[in-house]
Amino acid sequence: MAAFALLLPAALYAQASPAPSATPANIEAAPSDDAVIAARIKGIFSEIGNLQGVSVRVASGVVTLSGEVPSQNAIDQAVGVAGRVSGVVTVQDKLKRSLNVDNNLNPAIGGLAGKADAIVAAIPLILVAIAVAALVGFAGYWLAARKALWHRIAPNPFLGDLMSTFIRFAFVVGGIVLGLEIIGATALLGAVLGGAGVIGIAIGFAVRDSIDNYVSSLMLSIRQPFRGNDHIKIDEFEGRVVRLTSRATVLMTLDGNHLRIPNSTVFKAVILNFTTNPHRRFSIDFTLDHADDPCLARAKGLEALSALAFVLDKPEPSAEITDMPGTTQTLRFTGWVDQTKTGFGKARSLAYEAVRKALRDASFVLPDATYHVKLEQIEAPATPSPEAQAIALPPVAAPDTAPDSTSPELQIRKMVASERATDDGNDLLDSSRPVE
């Protein structure tokens, strides 16, 4: 009974308590009064010239805008302003752009007039910015014009000119940036640089061959792969180096002709220099019968080579069998000459003749795979007339048995040296720097 008495007041209290609200906790409070919202929006529009004629109607927090405005920007502005007012649920846009000439022409003229006034007011600042940019640019040109300074710093004139050009460009761009910073138009600089970047990429693709050649010229001038008047071979082109310019390598061929090779080709090519090492090896091949003794032929040929005065003792001549195709065998003789004292082509020709004579004297018959057919017609000798017999025949000159000269050919070398002596300063080769 006592427990029942205690529970009874609690039950009565529960019945007397009001039922909980059925409204969910996440439902916001009711919006502000529609009339207050409309008055607030109209008050804002009254302060904006292009929105003063806009009609505003609010029902249950939904704002409906109607009327005509001069531009699409005004429509977007009205919708944006109305949507930010407290209590607005959504905005219905029923605005139309006015096509009235006065409504569209007057703002445009007014805007141009305002911009013109702003430009006129900014003329002193613009003049100061131009003066500062010009001063910085002139400073860059003055510094870049100090050719002696850049040639002293750079290893060659081409790189010195490149450094001076870069300094000039950097100062000019820096002056423009500083001038735009003074007038507060750095955003314009970003747009210009962005457009210039796109244009630069397009130009780069269009002139990539020229850029490749320019970079190759720079690398060749730094590396110095050869000297002036060196006898070199670049891929299939052979001659003596006349000069290295900013665009091409000029060679004088062994025929005395000028040959210009683009530096991009030279930089990527295989370069063979015959002048760096004065000693050069020649090789001559002889085909012997398969039954001949190659050791005896080798000994006879080496004896003949060693007897030649222009063939060096160190390194000594050598001979080896290089091929045995069926019924023949190929014997190759090699010897070394000093190119500063002996012409390579002359030495090789005389060595060939000396070895061939030695092999023939040793009864080595050099096989010939071709057949020669010679047709002869025998005729009775004609009896010369008495007048012809009276004419004295000229004496026959004795054969010249003196040895051929093996001195090197100096004509092309002299022509190149003479042309290099009249160089106008465009040669990028520097004899004071090491060859890489």
Dihedral sign for Cα atoms in the order 170, 176, 178, 184:
negative
Residue 389 C-beta-side C-alpha neighbours within 13 Å = 5
DSSP 198-217: HHHHHHHHHTHHHHHHHHHH
With the CA atoms of 300, 305, 309 and 310 taken in that order, what torsion angle do they form, in degrees rounded to the nearest 10? 170
Parallel, antiparallel, or unpaired for β 62-69 and 90-97?
A: parallel
* Domain co-membership, 196 together with 239: no
Structure tokens at 288: 């012997």
* Domain co-membership, 305 together with 356: yes
Task: Give dist(CA 308, CA 347) in Å, integer.
Answer: 9
* Domain co-membership, 191 together with 230: no
Q: Are 216 and 266 in contact (CB under 8 A)?
A: yes
Domain that holds residue 255: 213-273
pTM comes to 0.56
Q: Are 355 and 333 in contact (CB under 8 A)?
A: yes
Total of domains in the chain: 4
Dihedral sign for Cα atoms in the order 336, 339, 342, 344:
positive
- Give the closest residue to 429 by CA, choosing from 220, 268, 161, 147: 220
Given 327, 361, 395, which residue is the final one in a domain? 361
Residue 408 located in a structural domain? no
Residue 395 located in a structural domain? no
Task: Give dist(CA 253, CA 238) in Å, integer.
Answer: 6
Task: Give dist(CA 428, CA 4) in Å, integer.
Answer: 118
Q: Are 310 and 341 in contact (CB under 8 A)?
A: yes
How does pLDDT run along the chain (436 residues), one tens digit per residue? 444 443 434 443 444 444 444 333 333 434 447 888 888 888 888 888 778 788 888 888 889 998 888 778 888 888 888 888 888 888 888 888 876 665 566 666 666 766 777 777 778 888 888 898 899 989 988 888 887 777 777 766 667 777 888 888 888 888 888 888 888 776 666 766 676 677 777 776 666 778 888 888 888 888 889 999 999 999 899 999 999 988 899 999 999 999 999 999 999 999 999 998 999 999 999 988 888 888 999 999 999 999 999 999 999 999 999 888 878 889 999 999 999 899 999 999 999 999 999 999 998 876 665 655 666 666 655 555 555 444 444 454 444 444 557 888 888 999 999 988 887 667 888 777 767 6
* Domain co-membership, 236 together with 292: no
* Domain co-membership, 236 together with 294: no
Q: Are 50 and 77 in contact (CB under 8 A)?
A: yes
Which residue is associated with the tokens 């012809």?
388
Q: What burial letters (b/e) apply to 262-293, b meaning 16+ CB within 10 Å?
A: bbbbbbeeeeebebeeeebebebebebeeebe
